[in-house]
Amino acid sequence: MNCFQIIKSVLDEAYVQIPGDEAEKDEVINDALEYLREEYSHLSQECNINYSDPTTRFAYIYAYVTSHSNLVCSIIQQNNFLGNLFDNKKVDVACIGGGPGSDFLGILKYLMTNKKSPRIKFQLCDREKSWAESWSDVDDKVEDLEFRISTSYLPLDVTKRDDWESHRKYFQSDLFTMIYFMSEVFSLRDSAEEYFAHLFNQAKTGSLFLFIDNNNSEFYNWFDQLAANHKIDILRSNETNMNVPFHEEKSDLGKYFAKFSPPKLTANVAYRIGRKV
């Protein structure tokens, strides 16, 4: 499975939603790519990214989703704690901050690569509702899918107790993923920390957590401290450099690769695999 090929089809749909003629679209997309690079350079101080703008969503999917989804796939591949989970007949996954799709696209790639076929349900939990448009029909974009998937969207702002407190069903998930999410809410951690404490406390015994983020001690120390305080046993912990695999051919992005600066292909990451005890 090639993530770039799926992303190309998603980008085609997103490109149509951006107003203006082709030249105008390309200009605002280039501006959005620069805007994201600038915002991500100071996440520990503040994060004011507005993903409701279709141009910003296009830029994020183009530049980052392939890299992040391949990180998910590779880390599951390297760690039986995660891989063995998908030998079960049914798996529920809650993607916290998972609107961009990196979490579930990486899991799909792992399942297809390893010919595993659980019945799998993804709950995409994200503040920005518009992400749902990008991934609701991803199963139609993947050829020869041999397992059943369902994808639902849960509007969720982790900084607002009134917004998240009433949602409970997803606490029974088998796996919780947090892919480049805690860094985005780090500057708001005084408001967000209560949510993560609640999530870790309410998760069922034996459920797994996959945290992947920038290799910045501020971000992973925050996760580690929360895990230590709320009975999450860290099974794997690593800080390392990882690359998009060679079989991911960036030219599959077609005209977009020719128009815009190259997508992210390398990552200096920290990741944790945890289990609720």
Tens of pLDDT, residue by residue over 104-113, are: 899 998 998 8
Is residue 136 predicted with pLDDT exceeding 80? no
By mean pLDDT, which of 2-11, 150-159, 167-176, 209-218 is the weakest? 2-11
Q: What is the mean pLDDT of residues 14-41?
A: 95
- Looking at residue 69, its amino acid is S
Lowest mean pLDDT among 49-58, 130-139, 154-163: 130-139
Distance from C-alpha of 181 to C-alpha of 172, rounded to nearest angstrom? 20
Q: What is the pLDDT of residue 166?
A: 86
pLDDT for 135 equals 75
Question: Is pLDDT of 229 > 80?
Answer: yes
Least confident segment among 26-35, 204-213, 237-246: 237-246
> To which residue do tokens 């998603």 refer?
10
Residue 1 has pLDDT above 90, yes or no: no
pLDDT at 7 over 90: no
pLDDT on residue 3: 75
CA distance 147 to 144: 9
Q: What is the mean pLDDT of residues 79-104?
A: 95
pLDDT value of residue 261 = 92
Angle at 47 (CA atoms; ends 260, 163), nearest 5 degrees = 115
Whole-number percent of the chain with pLDDT over 90: 72
- Rounded Cα distance between 267 and 241, Å, is 6
pLDDT value of position 114: 92
Taking the CA atoms of residue 154, residue 164, residue 49 and residue 45 in that order, the dihedral angle to the nearest 10 degrees is: -150
The CATH T-level fold of domain 3-276 is Rossmann fold (3.40.50)
User: CB atoms < 10 A from the CB of 214, how many?
Assistant: 18
Average pLDDT over residues 8-34: 94
**Residue 137 has what pLDDT?**
67
pLDDT for 175-214, tens place per residue?
999 999 999 999 999 999 999 999 999 999 999 999 999 9
| Per-residue CA distances from 189 to 160, 218, 225 (Å) | 11, 11, 13
